[in-house]
Amino acid sequence: MLQATNIHKSYGALQVLKGIDLTIQQGEVVSIVGASGAGKSTLLHILGTLDSADQGEVRFSGQLVNNFNSNQLARFRNQHIGFIFQFHNLLPEFTAHENVCLPGFLANTPEDEVKHRAANLLKMLNLGHRLDHKPSEMSGGEQQRTAVARALINSPEIIFADEPSGNLDSANAQELHEIFFRLRAELNQTFVIITHNEQLANMADRKLVMKDGFILS
Ligand SMILES: Nc1ncnc2c1ncn2[C@@H]1O[C@H](COP(=O)(O)OP(=O)(O)OP(=O)(O)O)[C@@H](O)[C@H]1O
């Protein structure tokens, strides 16, 4: 469902990605590991259309996104891609339910449908009792699970996660990792996950090791 070909990216004289080829199938959980500075986040941002490559192509289900303008990209991301970052980036003045609803409203999905779906997702992630809580009224694990629900609200084809459990204690990290695999089992959800957590990296269907701008395996 995702195909990246010959991706190159430099920042000034620094060549960060030197020709990455990568294909991700629907329902796969793929982890990306590698030393700090290896280019993992840069690659994830390019795959997720948050940044553009200097050279190479990114296709989703055959559709080339390289030439999309910024409005087209924003719409494409909102409808097809979910993101989870190390820090949840929830809006502090909104409740968990409102935070999850927001990308659904931006996609112009009918309001009732969005609200119903957001509540169901939060319940599915064991947050049925936290719908009306603001981020500051939730634990770190609950905040991150809310971010997972937000990533799922528009039924994305793929979710990109950058160090999703990097800010969690081991019990919450493990719960989050189990959720990823439950979502794959129940929804055939596709994930590409950058992680320094060895357990998560090894649970994935494929573990990609990045070094010096290339994928080693
Ligand atoms: N916007 C930018 N401008 C200049 N250099 C950048 C920029 N973004 C990243 N870099 C550099 O590119 C290299 C790769 O960064 P990247 O964040 O992709 O690495 P990473 O493998 O994700 O590292 P980490 O595990 O520490 O998050 C680093 O040397 C970084 O300093």
Contacts of 121 (CB under 8 A, 6+ apart): 100, 149, 152, 153
In the prediction, which pLDDT does 40 show?
A: 96
Pairing of β 158-162 and β 190-194 = parallel
- In CATH, what number does 2-215 get? 3.40.50.300
In the prediction, which pLDDT does 88 show?
A: 84
Q: Where are the domains of the chain?
A: 2-215
Mean pLDDT by 10 residues, the chain (217 residues): 96 95 96 95 96 95 90 92 92 98 95 97 95 96 96 96 94 94 95 96 96 89
In the prediction, which pLDDT does 119 show?
A: 98
How close is the Cα of 213 to the center of ligand 1, in Å? 11
In the prediction, which pLDDT does 111 show?
A: 97
User: Nearest-CA neighbor of 101 among 149, 160, 48, 143?
Assistant: 149
How close is the Cα of 15 to the center of ligand 1, in Å? 10
How close is the Cα of 133 to the center of ligand 1, in Å? 35
How close is the Cα of 147 to the center of ligand 1, in Å? 24
With a Cβ cut-off of 6 Å, ligand 1 is lined by 11, 14, 16, 34, 36-42
Residue nearest to atom 17 of ligand 1 (CA): 41
How close is the Cα of 14 to the center of ligand 1, in Å? 10
pTM to 2 decimal places = 0.94
Q: What is the dihedral of CA 104, 156, 162, 102, to 10 degrees?
A: 0
Prediction ipTM score: 0.94
Mutate-to-test residue for ligand 1 from 17, 31, 36, 52, highest number of ligand atoms within 8 A of CB = 36
